[in-house]
C-alpha cells in the first residue's frame, strides 16, 4: 500500500504499480465478471483470464506504463487497472490506452487520477502516439479520455464494431512513426 515498489506511482488516493503474482486471483475474478467487463467483447473463462493476467505481466516487463493494477491507498484494494497494451489497427501496431474499475469505485475520478499519474511516466519513458478506442455510447470513458488530453481522431470499425478513436502524443516529438 505504500510506495515501496520503486516502479509504483502514487497520487493522493491511489497507487499504480506493475502487476505481481499475488494479484492473479483478483484479476482472474475481474476478467470473469460481467460488470467489470462492461463495454468489453465479453467475459473471460478462468484459463483465458489467467492468460490475460500473464499478458499484463509480460507487457509491463517491457513497457513501464503497461496495463497495471490501480490500488486504493485507503483500503489497500486493487480497484482496477490502467495503462497500455499492444494492438494492431489498420496495419500498424499501436500502444492502446485503457482503464477499467470495479463498479463500486467508478464516478470518483479514480480513472483520471490514475491515468494522469501513469501518463506522466509514459511522457518520461516513451516518445510516440497513444491510441484509445471507445464505444460511442461510453460517455464516462470519453470524459476520462478528454481529461487525460486525448483528442478525437475518427470513427472507424474495430473488430466489426464502430468505435471512436482518440490519440495522444507523449514524450518528445520525434517525427518517428507510431
Ligand atoms: C470508464 C471508467 C474507467 C471511468 O472511471 P471513473 O473513475 O468513474 O471516471 P472519472 O470519475 O474520472 O470520470 C468520469 C467522467 O464521466 C462522467 N460519467 C460517469 N458516468 C457517466 C455516464 N454514465 N454518462 C455520462 N458521463 C458519465 C463523470 O461525471 C465524469 O465526468 P466529470 O469529470 O466531467 O464529472 C469507469 O466508468 C469504468 O470502469 N467503466 C467500465 C469499463 C470501461 O468502460 N472502460 C473503458 C473502456 S473504453
- Condensed to tens digits (0 to 9), the pLDDT of residues 65-84 reads 999 999 999 999 999 999 99
Whole-number mean pLDDT of the chain? 94
Query: Above 90 in pLDDT, residue 172?
Result: no
Distance (angstroms) between ligand 1 centre and the Cα of 123 equals 23
What string of DSSP letters covers 10-41?
Answer: E-SSEEE----GGGHHHHHHHHT-TTTTTTSS
Distance (angstroms) between ligand 1 centre and the Cα of 99 equals 10
40-66 residue pLDDT tens: 999 999 999 999 999 999 999 999 999
What string of DSSP letters covers 93-137?
Answer: EEEEEEEEE-GGGTTSSHHHHHHHHHHHHHHHH--EEEEEEE-TT
Residues with CB under 6 A from ligand 1: 38-39, 99-101, 106-112, 134, 138-141, 143-144
C-alpha to C-alpha distance for 69 and 8, rounded to whole angstroms? 10
Backbone angles phi, psi at 91, to 5 degrees: 80, 5
Distance (angstroms) between ligand 1 centre and the Cα of 137 equals 12
Residue-level pLDDT at 78:
98
Residue-level pLDDT at 174:
55
Atom of ligand 1 nearest to the CA of 147: 33
Average pLDDT over residues 119-132: 96
Average pLDDT over residues 119-144: 97
Query: Above 70 in pLDDT, residue 178?
Result: no
Query: Above 80 in pLDDT, residue 173?
Result: no
Query: Above 70 in pLDDT, residue 175?
Result: no
Query: Above 60 in pLDDT, residue 154?
Result: yes
- For ligand 1, mutation pick of 39, 114, 143 (most atoms within 8 Å of CB): 143
Q: Which residue segments constitute the domains of the chain, with CATH numbers given?
A: 9-170 (3.40.630.30)
Distance (angstroms) between ligand 1 centre and the Cα of 108 equals 9
Question: What confidence category does residue 13 fall into, taking pLDDT thresholds of 50, 70 and 90?
Answer: very high
Amino acid at each position: 500500500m505504500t510506495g515501496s515498489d520503486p516502479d509504483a506511482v502514487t497520487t493522493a488516493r491511489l497507487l499504480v504499480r506493475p502487476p505481481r503474482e499475488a494479484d492473479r486471483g483478483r484479476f482472474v475474478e475481474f476478467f470473469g465478471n460481467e460488470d467489470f467487463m462492461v463495454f468489453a467483447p465479453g467475459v473471460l473463462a478462468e484459463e483465458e483470464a489467467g492468460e490475460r493476467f500473464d499478458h499484463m505481466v509480460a507487457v509491463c516487463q517491457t513497457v513501464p506504463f503497461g496495463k497495471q493494477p490501480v490500488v486504493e491507498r485507503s483500503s489497500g484494494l486493487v480497484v482496477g487497472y490502467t495503462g497500455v497494451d499492444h494492438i494492431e489497427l489498420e496495419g500498424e501496431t499501436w500502444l492502446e490506452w485503457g482503464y477499467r474499475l470495479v463498479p463500486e469505485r467508478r464516478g470518483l475520478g479514480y480513472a483520471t487520477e490514475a491515468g494522469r499519474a501513469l501518463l506522466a511516466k509514459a511522457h518520461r519513458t516513451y516518445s510516440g502516439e497513444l491510441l484509445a478506442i471507445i464505444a460511442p455510447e461510453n460517455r464516462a470513458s470519453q470524459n476520462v479520455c478528454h481529461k487525460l488530453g486525448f483528442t478525437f481522431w475518427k470513427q472507424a470499425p474495430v473488430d466489426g464494431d464502430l468505435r471512436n478513436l482518440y490519440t495522444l502524443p507523449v514524450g518528445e516529438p520525434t517525427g518517428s512513426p507510431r
